[in-house]
Chains A and B, each alone.
Chain A
Amino acid sequence: MTVVLVADDDADIRDLVAFKLEQAGFEVIAVEDGQTALDQARSRQPTLAVLDVSMPGLSGIDVCRMLRSEPATAGMLIIMLTARVQEQDVEGGFSAGADDYVTKPFSPRELVSRIQSLLSRARA
């Protein structure tokens, strides 16, 4: 089963994403802050991480940059979630090494299809 790490400090959104992903057949690790996300990513090596950009402490962008800089996690697929839509924010996410970017409010269905297309591109 494909393991997906979900990090968002908003409990409702975290549950929403986790529920939808489990329904789609993924095994989900849900965490509420950047540091825990980093620890879980290192120890459990999920195939893909969905990271909220603005979390207290380590932001999603910080986590993304750190995962990319460590050989064990450098190849992990990363999708950023953000409530900000200005270009510089999106560019910031991509320059930190994110594979894709989803802006809030997003459709859970759309998030799943973005995840699936990233996974199939990575397998190809």
Chain B
Amino acid sequence: MQVPFDNLLKALYGEIFNRRNTFFVIFALISLSMLAVGTVWPKRYTSTAVIIADDSNILQPLMEGTAEATRVSNHASNAREILFGEKIMSQILKDAGWLKTNPSEVEQERIKTNIKGLVKISGAGRNLIKIESRDSKPMRAYITAKRMAELFIEEGEKSKINESQAAFDFIEKQVNEYLQKLTLVEEQLEEFRTKNPDARPGTDTEVSDRIRRLTAEIERTRLELRETIIKRDSLQDQLSGEAAITISMSKEGQYRGKIAVLQTRLETLRLDYKETYPDIVRLKHQIEDLKDSMTAEIEQREKAKLNAHNKGSEYIDEAILLNPLYQQLRSESSATQTKIVTLRARISEMNKMLEKEYDRAKRIHGGEAALSKLTRDYQVNQDIYQDLLRRMERARVSRNLDEENQGLTYKIQEPAKIPLIPTGVRFIHFAALGLIMGFGVPIGMIYLLLQIEPRVRFSQIINDGMNIPVLAEIYSFPSNSEYRKMKVNIFILVACYLMIFLIYGYVGWLKLTGQL
């Protein structure tokens, strides 16, 4: 059952009126206590200095890649590191007048911690550093912000120069070190070269080439030798007795051939003539003669063979000896023999050369490992040295940049000012809040009571919610004497409220004139 809002408001009004005295007490308690808190709440003055970190100047594009302008990625945190350091904090303590009362070491530490809590260093934008100093005294807030900005710039520049100088020094040291190394390797290489003239790049391939060529040559010569030997053997065979016999047999063959021809003629003649035909007789004689001479030939050959065999020498027919072919064979055979001797000599010579080459190859391999090591060292050292040399030049320029304040520069963008109006939660806020809460809290409490208390406060709940007709809504009314008392009570309450406002006004005035 939803109660209409105006009824709720009416009930709220009535309830507040009935509880007006309690309402006032709560109001007075809240508003006065807030006023008291506001009175004792410390004032805070804020002074702000803004520093611009200018790292993009005209030199940058010119020096691109050559010089490194000192870069700071997070200016604010960098500034915090520098400013909250012991050195600057002590300086601030002195400048802001904290030491006038001669605080002890412990107290000084406490003050420093306090200042760290009250000074806010934040990065505003990409390159801006904002230093916000809060303090109960405006002058102290101002001095703190101002001095911090100044000291930061001083310190920042100093540290920047130191940094680039240190970088340059380091690189220079490195360069010298590598120079020494390089010289040493060079000397070693020189020494090695004198000791090993063979040790030239490519010697290895040359030697293996030679070995290969020699091996091939030997192979070829061997083949030729074998060929020549075979040739000599065959020539020998031809020149041996077998050959003579062959030739002799060929003489015999001549005879047989002649006989065969004569026999053929004889056969032909016998077809036409009788045995006594002169031609046939003559032919018979001729054949007889030929057969005799052939037999003689065979006998002679056998005898010669036997003789030769007895004498232990080869039998060479005279006819054969006189034969041009034989002569040629003999000369050829002796030539072949000579060639064989030559080839053998060559092979042994080449083998010797091969041996020598193998020896050389072995020597070269050992030397080459040492050489390549030395060469590598030399190469690496040289590369690093050259790189470092380049870097050193860049570092030198960077250092010069920083020395002449041309790299990253800090400038005061907005100087600190003496704050005139305190910031943060101030008396006026407490006062206003006190009045608002003074009324708001009790009203809220009564509203809450109306909302959550289960007892029926609205006739709508009975009429509409429970379907019981409500005949009349009767408002309470005061008797005449009560009405009079009520008036007196209201006058007193109004006076009390006025009193509270007067107290507010008075305290406000005191605050405004600085008496409180």
Q: Do A and B come from one complex?
A: no
Chain B contacts to A: CB under 8 angstroms: none
Chain A contacts to B: CB under 8 angstroms: none
